[in-house]
Amino acid sequence: MIIVGAGIVGAAIAYYLTRVGVRVTLLEAQAPAAGASGASDGAISVASKRPGPMMALACEARTLYGQWVDQGIMRDIYHPRPTYLFARTDEEVAVIAHQGSDLMELGERILPLTHAELMQRVPGLGRHVLAGMKVPDDGHALGYQVVDRLLQASGAQVLRNTPVLRLALSDDKVVGVVTSSGTLVADRVVVAAGLGSGSLSGFQAILIPRKGQLVVTDRASLTGAALRGPLLSAGYLAAKRRMVLGQSSTSLVIDPLATGQFLIGSSRETGFADRQTDVQTVSTLLREAMAVYPALARQRVIRTFAGIRIGTQDGLPIVGRHPTLPGLFIATGMEGDGICLAPVIGSAVADMVLDQTPRFDVSALNPGRFGAVSVRQAN
């Protein structure tokens, strides 16, 4: 069994397969978590998800993270924490209200907050914040740490610096992959390679890269996170809900890290796959962040970086059997949600590979919804 991509989704699939005795080899063009998993903000958040299957699957995934902690797999890596949603305009207040209604329909606990109530829970908020909402049951885990722990728990073989050039076919069935080091044979292949998934799976026209620029500050606290949980803008929610508010091209999140630093993000630059940051975007992020939380003016920027989210035309991931090539499975297009959804996606894809009915309903993510696709590299 071969998995192309040793990010968090590929590592989760490997974990579930090896638990039932499947021998798994992961192929990574660089190193584990070198892509989006390593640049993730770590939010295991239901509060931020698009209503529908994404929000429902996030609820299931967050429960699995808790189970992983109980089993010792994610002990000291996954940490519960609340998410604070905030609005800066009347239009954004309405977005948060809609999000709250959708969360309550799933049985999620929420606490609507006025500006004064937000100030009690997050002292130092600026006057630009009108209202918000607390979602108390979210959590956090660093992507690269999750990947490392899953790979350790799985015992799967990981081949680093092994880019996959194309699929190996026999009688129009996938029988392995061709790498820079030669051909590797397998009865099943899963493509979970993020940015590299398009050319291998034939979904180039469906997958959309979105660059996100982020900022890291110095420490505001020497004793842990400076805030109880992240501050998530209604603009971020609107982007997930596929709404256009017109305020900016940034989806502001102010994330208090366990180190006492702040992670501030992020831009949403559709069609960009480079990892360069620029002064204009970083300045916009910092201006918006200081307007929301003026105490940030005391901090210094020590690092800027960019990650690439891979989304799809309809905003839903692509997960399941390839529509035209037997033996091939796809798990890609998570955008920024791979860190949260990895447990359920890993479980579901592992079940499919084993010809079992998935424990979790990922039918809305079926690759066949886009029709037949052509894998040119396999010809």
Q: HSE of 130 in the Cβ direction (CA atoms, 13 Å)?
A: 12
- Specify whether 217 is located in the same domain as 131: yes
Share of the chain above pLDDT 70, in %: 97
- Is a pLDDT exceeding 90 seen at residue 371? no
66 part of a folded domain: no
57 part of a folded domain: no
What pLDDT band is residue 242 in, cutting at 50, 70 and 90?
Answer: low
Q: What is the pTM of this model?
A: 0.94
- Specify whether 228 is located in the same domain as 337: no
- Is a pLDDT exceeding 70 seen at residue 224? yes
- Specify whether 154 is located in the same domain as 296: no
- Is a pLDDT exceeding 60 seen at residue 378? no
What pLDDT band is residue 240 in, cutting at 50, 70 and 90?
Answer: confident
Of the listed ranges 96-100, 124-128, 343-347, 354-358, the one predicted with least confidence: 124-128
362 part of a folded domain: yes
The pLDDT score that the predictor gives to residue 245 is 41
236 part of a folded domain: yes
- Is a pLDDT exceeding 60 seen at residue 151? yes
Which pair of structure tokens corresponds to residue 127? Answer: 């006057």
Q: What domain range is 365 assigned to?
A: 2-39+144-206+315-378
> Alpha-carbon dihedral of residues 233, 235, 236, 238, nearest 10 degrees?
130
**Final residue belonging to a domain, choices 278, 297, 312:** 312
CATH assignment of the domain containing 232: 3.30.9.10
The pLDDT score that the predictor gives to residue 250 is 72
In this structure, are residues 282 and 324 in contact, taking their beta carbons and an 8 Å threshold?
Answer: no
- Three-state DSSP at 271 gives coil
CA distance 249 to 244: 10
Q: Please state, as a whole number, how many other Cβ atoms lie within 10 Å of the Cβ of residue 276.
A: 11
**Residue predicted with more confidence, 235 or 317:** 317
**Final residue belonging to a domain, choices 312, 329, 355:** 312
73 part of a folded domain: no
Tell me: the pLDDT tens digits for 266-294? 888 888 888 899 999 999 999 999 999 99
- Specify whether 248 is located in the same domain as 300: yes
- How many domains does one find in the chain? 2
Work out the average pLDDT over 360-375: 91
- Specify whether 180 is located in the same domain as 291: no
Report which secondary-structure segment, H or E, holds 197: helix 197-201
Q: Please state, as a whole number, how many other Cβ atoms lie within 10 Å of the Cβ of residue 76.
A: 9
Report which secondary-structure segment, H or E, holds 133: strand 131-135
CA nearest neighbour of 242 among 57, 51, 45, 36:
51
- Is a pLDDT exceeding 50 seen at residue 375? yes
Q: Please state, as a whole number, how many other Cβ atoms lie within 10 Å of the Cβ of residue 75.
A: 11
Residues 6+ apart with CB under 8 A from 187: 1, 175, 327
Tell me: the pLDDT tens digits for 39-81? 888 999 999 999 999 999 999 999 999 999 999 999 999 999 9
- Specify whether 125 is located in the same domain as 242: yes
Work out the average pLDDT over 150-168: 96
- Three-state DSSP at 84 gives strand
Which pair of structure tokens corresponds to residue 171? Answer: 């009688």
Work out the average pLDDT over 193-221: 93
CATH assignment of the domain containing 173: 3.50.50.60
- Specify whether 281 is located in the same domain as 338: no
238 part of a folded domain: yes
What pLDDT band is residue 5 in, cutting at 50, 70 and 90?
Answer: very high
Residues 6+ apart with CB under 8 A from 75: 69
Work out the average pLDDT over 77-103: 95
- Specify whether 364 is located in the same domain as 247: no
64 part of a folded domain: no
- Specify whether 17 is located in the same domain as 105: no
CA nearest neighbour of 99 among 257, 309, 240:
240
28 part of a folded domain: yes
- Specify whether 114 is located in the same domain as 239: yes
Average pLDDT, the chain: 93
Work out the average pLDDT over 3-14: 98
* Max CA distance (Å), the chain: 67
Question: Is residue 244 classed exposed, middle or buried when 0-12, 13-18 and 19+ CB atoms within 10 A define those classes?
Answer: exposed
Work out the average pLDDT over 149-163: 97
- Specify whether 261 is located in the same domain as 164: no
Work out the average pLDDT over 131-135: 97
CA nearest neighbour of 1 among 166, 18, 179:
18
Tell me: the pLDDT tens digits for 25-47? 999 999 999 988 988 889 999 99
**Residue predicted with more confidence, 313 or 355:** 355
- Specify whether 116 is located in the same domain as 219: yes
